[in-house]
Amino acid sequence: MSFNAILLEKNETSGFTASIKVLSKETLLQQQGDTLIKVQYSSINYKDALALTNKGPVVRSWPMVPGIDGVGVVVKCDSGRYKTGDQVILNGWGCGENHWGCLGQYAYLQSGWLIPLPDKFTPQQAMAMGTAGYTAALCVQRIIEHGVKPEQGSVLVTGASGGVGSVAIALLTKLGYQVTAATSKTGEVNYLKQLGAVDFIDSQAFKGAGKPLQKECWSAAIDVLGSHALANVCAQINYGGIVAACGLAQGLDFPTTVAPFILRGVTLAGVDSVMASYDKRLIAWNLLAKYIDSGLLNQIAKTIPLSECMEVANQMIAGRIKGRFIVDVNVSSE
């Protein structure tokens, strides 16, 4: 058996390359796994974009098939956890980093990394959300668990037109929260309104250094930017509020003081989607299945072939895209 996949390679002679290659089943099965998946769809997330462009130290083992997301059909499962024909979802677990991921027609994975595809979603709809939507759901769940109620004030979402932001806005709106969308893409206001955002702010306002304590504006926030943006968001959260931080698009640094956390009782909750437990994954996906209108996914996502992944990745790193990109791994070009 042979199959198509994007292969990332790096060596002293040719440097970094990303191309579609024909790979063998034997090569794939050299990965540490117990479940062979016939992949139907994958997606492009920010981490995938970093890997595909070699703009960040994402890949830890070479060569690598990227793709932190995947949905597909079980071909065989040696652990017995799934049976042949079951439809399953992968999000994270180091795939595309140190284990071959799902930007290919087959993947060999650990059964413990997989969850069943919710009945409400088609495979394509599941990847319209993917890790971005699943991460958004984890963040919203933290806000709910913190006890923030819709009547307590607006929830801020940074990176609003991106994958996490788009799903977060739609999900929060369905739950009755008023959402303020922070974006540098002023031309996407109509798109964000369709998702449910009611107020808008230019994210450039969060870019520079600010005071450790600023005017209280938000009952909670979901931040994908990090750095000065995260520091400014924390400084503007209402007393006792929470910030769910899940991204680092602006940077890894966090230039602030303890003032918001001690003087206003603000909680900074780090949200990790890569190694989250099976139970947390089920809660997040069930939240999406309960509240996300499947029709809305058509507004959020676009489907592309494998051949367009590198271009989309470059556009994503440059901040020129909105929403989500589903990858039909069984179509090499269009």
Domains of the chain, each with CATH number or no CATH: 2-117+300-328 (3.90.180.10), 130-270 (3.40.50.720)
User: Going residue by residue through the chain (334 aa), what tens digit of pLDDT does each one get?
Assistant: 799 999 999 987 878 999 999 999 999 999 999 999 999 999 999 899 999 999 988 999 999 999 999 999 999 999 999 999 999 999 999 999 999 999 999 999 999 999 999 999 999 999 999 999 999 999 999 999 999 999 999 999 999 988 899 999 999 999 999 999 999 887 889 999 999 999 999 988 888 888 999 999 999 999 999 999 999 999 999 999 999 999 988 889 999 999 999 999 999 999 999 999 999 999 999 999 999 988 888 888 999 999 999 999 999 998 888 889 999 999 866 5
Q: Is 114 helix (H, G, I), strand (E, B) or coil?
A: strand
- Model-level pTM? 0.91
Contact indicator for 322, 169 with CB cutoff of 8 Å = no
Task: Please report, rounded to a whole number, the percentage of residues in the chain having pLDDT higher than 70.
Answer: 99
Q: Quick: pLDDT tens for 30-59.
A: 999 999 999 999 999 989 999 999 998 899
Q: Per-residue pLDDT tens for 110-158? A: 999 999 999 999 999 999 999 999 999 999 999 999 999 999 999 999 9
169 touches 191 (CB < 8 A): no
Distance, CA of 116 to CA of 40 (rounded, Å):
14
Separation CA 295–CA 322 (nearest Å): 17
How far apart are alpha carbons 29 and 286 in whole angstroms? 32
Whether 243 contacts 224, CB under 8 Å: no
Q: Catalogue the E-assigned strands of the chain.
A: 2-11, 15-24, 35-44, 69-77, 87-91, 106-109, 114-116, 155-157, 179-183, 199-202, 218-223, 237-245, 267-270, 301-305, 324-328
